[in-house]
Amino acid sequence: MTTTCSAPGKIYLFGEHAVVYGEPAIACAVELRTRVIAKKSNEITISSDIGTTKLDFDMHPYVSSAIRKLGSPDVFIEITSEIPVGSGLGSSAAVTIATLSAINIEFGLGYEKEELAKMGHEIEKEVQGAASPTDTFVSTFGGVVEIPSRKRLNLLDCDVVIGNTNKGASPKKTAKLVQQVARLKEEHPDIINPIIKTIGSFAKQGELMVSQKNYTSLGKLMNVNHGLLDALGVSTMELSALVYAARNAGAYGAKLTGAGGGGCMVALSDSPREVAEAIEKAGGRAIITRATPEGVIQI
């Protein structure tokens, strides 16, 4: 038997960084997926774009940790992905969840999705040192989700355009940026704490706008959220250039997504081609995608 599972990446509509301090956020699974094939074998093999290894915690840290978490069964794993790696779109969560899920089914281990999401979060923490459960939760269950309540909101009806700066994002960078914000917060609590609270308040307002499909207002709030992330020092010139290009091309709104410092921005739009073209002209790599209700699935 062979089992293939796929799990989605995600964007943040609101709330990255503030979510680290317990503020609410809204994340959204997108139709960019990582596929993992698992097949019983007589040894452990992991094959991906970057090479073929045995358990290898340097080259394949997430997949190796997922195999170990499930008792190190002899399995052949093959990974293919549409999610740019280490760019704030949850690529590591998607490969972790798809691997856990494919091995779970292939070996009949009987874990529930909730348990796989929890294991996925533990693996991200082991590999990265720190991680919020957002990425692994959204990759497991899909949809538009408020964090930490896990409330499922309406799916977005408009297109999602992602702009990749192709620069500088990685799990290590995430940890560095989270620390950088923590330092700023310690140095200037009176100024930074209200900014973090305000970022948290977007999720409540945004929830209403998502349910009313009021993308004009949702986009305006995304723009304000980007301004506040810039104030926290996590945007870059390249990210902001793509954000402005998307807005000028008629997007409802645009902001960086994930930890920042490079990586990706996201725009909502009903004219995705124009927005994608503007992003490419401004030096980014554009991807047109949609929100997806589907988390990890067997295919």
Return the residue of 8, 88, 272, 284 that touches ligand MEV, per CB under 6 A.
88
In three-state secondary structure terms, 53 is strand
Q: Does position 132 bind ligand MEV by CB under 6 A? A: yes
The alpha carbon dihedral of 175, 177, 181, 183 has a sign of positive
From 17-25, 57-65, 148-156, 285-293, give the range in contact with ligand MEV by CB under 6 A: 17-25
> What's the Cα-to-Cα distance from 157 to each of 15, 44, 137, 248, 268, rounded to whole Å?
21, 42, 22, 21, 10
Closer CB to ligand MEV, 88 or 206, in the complex: 88
Instruction: Say if CB 11 and CB 161 are below 8 A apart.
Output: no
> Phi, psi at residue 253, to the nearest 5°?
-170, 165
- Our answer to whether residue 135 is catalytic in this structure is yes
Please, what is the angle between helix 171-187 and helix 189-211, to 10°?
120
Distance CA 85, CA 171 (A): 10
Q: Does position 131 bind ligand MEV by CB under 6 A? A: yes
Distance in Å, CB of 47 to ligand MEV, minimum = 27
How is residue 21 annotated by DSSP? G
- Residues 176-195 as x/- pattern, contact with ligand MEV by CB under 6 A: --x-----------------
Closer CB to ligand MEV, 200 or 272, in the complex: 200
Distance in Å, CB of 249 to ligand MEV, minimum = 25
> Phi, psi at residue 288, to the nearest 5°?
-95, 125
Instruction: Say if CB 16 and CB 7 are below 8 A apart.
Output: no
Site size for ligand MEV, by CB under 6 A?
A: 12
Q: Does position 256 bind ligand MEV by CB under 6 A? A: no
From 14-22, 29-37, 208-216, 272-280, give the range in contact with ligand MEV by CB under 6 A: 14-22
Burial class (CB in 10 A: 0-12, 13-18, 19+), 92: buried
From 15-23, 68-76, 191-199, 235-243, give the range in contact with ligand MEV by CB under 6 A: 15-23
From 74-82, 127-135, 201-209, 269-277, give the range in contact with ligand MEV by CB under 6 A: 127-135
From 11-19, 53-61, 71-79, 204-212, give the range in contact with ligand MEV by CB under 6 A: 11-19
Closer CB to ligand MEV, 3 or 170, in the complex: 170
Closer CB to ligand MEV, 165 or 174, in the complex: 174
Q: Does position 174 bind ligand MEV by CB under 6 A? A: yes
Which of the following is catalytic: 49, 58, 135, 190?
A: 135
For 16, the token pair is: 């990255």
Return the residue of 8, 16, 33, 38 that touches ligand MEV, per CB under 6 A.
16
Question: CB-based contacts of 103: which residues, under 8 Å, 6+ apart?
Answer: 3, 38, 66, 67, 70, 73, 75, 77, 109
In three-state secondary structure terms, 191 is helix
Instruction: Say if CB 3 and CB 33 are below 8 A apart.
Output: no
For 264, the token pair is: 């990706």
For 239, the token pair is: 């990210």
Distance in Å, CB of 84 to ligand MEV, minimum = 13
Q: Does position 20 bind ligand MEV by CB under 6 A? A: yes
- Give the catalytic positions in this structure: 135
Q: Which residues bind ligand MEV (CB under 6 A)?
A: 16-17, 19-20, 88, 131-132, 134, 174, 178, 258-259
